[in-house]
Each structure stands twice: as C-alpha cells, then as structure tokens.
Amino acid sequence: MAPVKVTGAVVAAAAMVLLSSYCYWSFFIRLSEKKKRKRKEKLSMRNGLVDAIGNTPLIRINSLSEATGCEILGKCEFLNPGGSVKDRVAVKIIQEALESGKLFPGGVVTEGSAGSTAISLATVAPAYGCKCHVVIPDDAAIEKSQIIEALGATVERVRPVSITHKDHFVNIARRRAEEANELASKRRLERESNGIHQAKTNGCTVAEEKEPSFFSDSVTGGFFADQFENLANYRAHYEGTGPEIWHQTHGNIDAFVAAAGTAGTLAGVSRFLQEKNERVKCFLIDPPGSGLYNKVTRGVMYTREEAEGRRLKNPFDTITEGIGINRLTKNFLMAKLDGGFRGTDKEAVEMSRFLLENDGLFLGSSSAMNCVGAVRVAQTLGPGHTIVTILCDSGMRHLSKFHDPKYLDRYGLSPTAIGLEFLGIK
C-alpha cells in the first residue's frame, strides 16, 4: 500500500505544480495583453485636429513637490494643438453653436479675447468650415495677434476700456457678429429678389461703398462666442478636464487651484471634483487688480480703496494676461470654491523662472500664477496632500512682455530669487 500512497502524493503534487504554472502564466499573459492594449490605445490614431484636443498629460512638478512635501501636479494644457487650455472651450462653443443652428459652415465666429481663446478659435474654426474674427486689446502681447493672423483669422486691435464702454473689445466683437448676420441676411434677400437692379459704381453697390464690411459676401452669418457668459465654456471643463483629472489621479486628489478670467476652467473642474468627492478643496488664485479674491474671501467685489472712490482707471494693473476680472461671469457663478489666495506679479515672474531652471517648464503668465497658487495651497494644507493645477499655456506667446527682461525691468519685476524664498520657502 505504501508505494500507492507515494505515487498518489506525487501525482497530486504534480497536479498542483501544473495548476500553479497555468495560473502563473495565465496571469502574466493577461497582464501582457492588458499592457499591449494600453500601449495600442496610447498610440492609436486620432480623427483630425479636433479629436487631438484634450486628454493632456498630468505631470508631477518635481521641484515644487519636493519643496512643499505635497504632490503638486500640473495638467499640461499647453500640449493641446492650439497651445492652450482654451482649445477645449473653442471646440465646445463651436460644436454647440452648430448643433443649435446659431452657426452654419461658412459663418464667422467672433470673439473679444486677450489672446488664448482667440488663438484657439482661429485654430479650430477651419476644422468646422468656419471663419474667425477676433477683437483684441492693443496692450496684449503682440505675438498673440501675429499668431491669430497667421492662422487665417481677422484681427482687430482696439484700445482697452471698461466693459461698460460700447467700444470694449468684447462689445465690439458682439457687434461684429451682428454685422455678419445682417450682411448674410441682406445677401439672401438680394438673391431671392434676383432681378431688382441696384446702382453700381466701380463694380460695387452704393450701399457697399458707404458701409464697408470686415466680412466677404459669401459669409453665411455670424456667431459671437461670448466666452465669458457662454456656459459651453464651463461644460467643456465639467465634461472634459475635470473627469480627466479625476481619472489620472485615480480619485486621489485633495485640492485643485486655478486663476480665473472667464472662470470656465475653475468652475467646471471644481464642480466636477466636488461632486465626485466633497472633501476635495478648490481654491482661486487671483492676480493684482482683480476683484474675485475679495468676492471669494469677503463676499464683495471691491476693495476699501475702490469703495472710497479711488479706483484705478485701469483696474487690470497686472502683467498676467487672460486672468483677473472685476465682474461675476455666468461661468464663475458655477464654481464651488473653498477659499482664495492673492498672487503678485513678482511672484508669477519668479515662479516662471524657477520652474524653467529646475523643471524645464517654459510657462506663460497664468500658468506661473497657478503654480504660485499650488504652493500657497500646499502651505495651507500641509505636507502629504495631492494638489492639481492647470498649466494653461507655454511662454511662447508671452515673449514681448512676461518673458522680456527689458519690459520687466521697466516695471521693477526683474527676477532676483535663487529659490522659492519669494513664497517664504528656504
């Protein structure tokens, strides 16, 4: 009987070995196939320019993480085809306008913008068969309008005035859309009448000579993008940027911080993250001259000096572009915030140079201010937290101001810091 027992034991042991080997190799085969699928997904072809927008990398900003003891992560929106976070907004605005019948192929999208949204609209509009007309303040970095024109859009540079003024760049952009619609309507009526003679002078109608237009006769209408008040802006980030951040962090996120101009990014991301986990803290970082910090922290938009009638003629007294505002937009009203911080121009300049030297990140003014905000949040929450911010655009479109040594020296903003001592970190 003994030999039989030994043989049975051997058979059982062999079976166990075979079973273990099968499980072992089956596991690794499945793991290998999973890795192949992921690699294939990463390398998969995207369908045109629009499909290449979004799903940007989330990177660890090593220098800031090591200095604060927190995991500080930056969403690399400067890697979108148009070079900024505003690509998402441009796509959403145009798609919704086409779906609603407010815009048609051959139409012109108009916008008043300090630069990034204008560049994104000029980049995206041709993919939908549309044109773009941009009204931009003439104090914005000159390379922005050069880029927009190179992309085929029409650029109209105007002097900066209050939003209440009829010739504020946003209000002019709204009028241009109306003019495009009037022109398209007029041309349709002319085609329908098709026989009514109009007086011609040098091949043009009398009306055309009296009323020169920015738009060609073939334009099918105009649509004012209205990035400040159009909630497609908010939806672009609620449906895209926010879910991407949640997925990329696997839900392990403690805080989000960003500056606000239109406030679409801040609103969409903050609302999505707090709906996923109410313990995620969301903060504003606000540049000089903006009233949003006061609104978030004190419940009012004005400072004591402004309340006493000493408000500056130009309240946007900051080197940063595209962020800071003194009114509540519809997009901002969608935000869910736990607090705010005030940043300075000098902090933004110093931060941009620190990140370039230590991380190889060449960032624009709003991105640098966001990183100032990330450090402020880290100092508030303490070590061990994961904080995400937005790297909106690169420094490539900020060469004539934010990255120009002569310009900075003129305003006493030349960088002098060796490390992060400008934020109280030694």
Write out the H or E segment, with its range, that includes residue 156: strand 154-158
Torsion of CA 45, 47, 49, 54, to 10 degrees: -70
Q: Could you give the residue ranges of the DSSP H alpha helices within 58-168?
A: 62-68, 86-100, 116-124, 142-150
* Residues 216, 320: Cα–Cα separation, whole Å: 35
- Confidence (pTM): 0.83
pLDDT at 296: 95
pLDDT at 308: 41
The first and second tokens of residue 35, run together, are 């890795």
pLDDT at 351: 98
pLDDT at 216: 77
pLDDT in tens, 337-371: 999 999 999 999 999 999 999 999 999 999 999 99
* Residues 265, 331: Cα–Cα separation, whole Å: 9
pLDDT at 305: 53
Q: What are phi and psi of 82, to 5 degrees?
A: -85, 0
Sheet order of strands, 108-112 included = 154-158, 131-137, 108-112, 222-224
Largest Cα–Cα distance of the chain, in whole Å? 120
pLDDT at 385: 98
Q: Count Cα atoms within 13 angstroms, Cβ side, for 154.
A: 15
* Residues 323, 307: Cα–Cα separation, whole Å: 22
Catalogue all structural domains in the chain, each as residue range(s) with its CATH number.
51-80+238-419 (3.40.50.1100), 86-224 (3.40.50.1100)
pLDDT at 275: 97
pLDDT at 206: 42
pLDDT at 44: 72
What string of pLDDT tens digits covers the 426 residues of the chain?
455 455 666 666 666 666 666 656 666 667 667 666 666 555 678 889 999 999 999 999 999 999 999 999 999 999 999 999 999 999 999 999 999 999 999 999 999 987 789 999 999 999 999 999 999 988 887 888 899 999 999 999 999 888 889 989 999 999 999 999 898 888 888 777 765 554 444 444 444 444 556 887 788 899 999 999 999 999 999 999 999 999 999 999 999 999 999 999 999 999 999 999 999 999 999 999 899 999 999 998 875 555 544 444 344 478 898 899 988 999 999 999 999 999 999 999 999 999 999 999 999 999 999 999 999 999 999 999 999 999 999 999 899 899 999 999 999 999 999 999 999 998
Q: Are strands 204-205 and 200-201 parallel, antiparallel or unpaired?
A: antiparallel
pLDDT at 191: 76
